[in-house]
Structure 1
Amino acid sequence: MRAQIATALALIVIAGSANAAERTRFWNLTSNTIEQLYLSAPGQNKYGEDLCKLDDDGSVDHDERLTLKGVSTGHYDVKFVDAKGRTCVVPNVAITAGKVFTIDEKELKDCTKAQ
């Protein structure tokens, strides 16, 4: 009986860990809607797919959270395009699987505006 309880508890812990990885979220604290969002290994400039496509309306509004799948714990360069046409890169953002990470206006030092 104790072995069965221990096994059940172990399965709950494993399932909880897997579920936590599914709950990694980006919280948009910039002042604008983000229309495109990309991650790259720091300094590599090799961005993956547009993560905004994971959202129902294809964008991440101010103060909205976007659930990301398959993002591992690590540091990433985050690139985005917002509704005002700015393209911004925030370097070396710490992301922990199963946790929320944020980007706010104070972090936006490398932005360009489309001409």
Structure 2
Amino acid sequence: MPTNPQTQKTYKPDPRFKIAHKEAKIGIALAIFNFIWWFGFAYGLGNRPPEQYTYTFGLPDWFFYSCVIGFILMSALVIVITKYALTEVSLEPEPDQQKEDSQTP
């Protein structure tokens, strides 16, 4: 059954998807970096007998660097990336998309 090209809608990808995919990759990279930071310090420095621990501000060094400094570092990274790398995008439908939606029964 042949279709009429004039009645066929052409697919035009929404440019917001490209932005969303880029930002999702940034979020995944941050999560992976956070895990590597935490795992490296927690198991790298914490893989000793407790008698050999050194302490920073009363906390074992493995905990201080993995959890306290890691939290501060990740908070700063998220703030900087949110301010400079992420883009504010309107979630409202595009004007031409609104017309198509209103014409569809």
Calculate the TM-score normalised by the size of structure 2.
0.32
Indicate the structure with greater strand content: 1
Indicate the structure with greater helix content: 2
Higher relative contact order (CA 8 A, sep 6+): 1
Higher Rg: 2
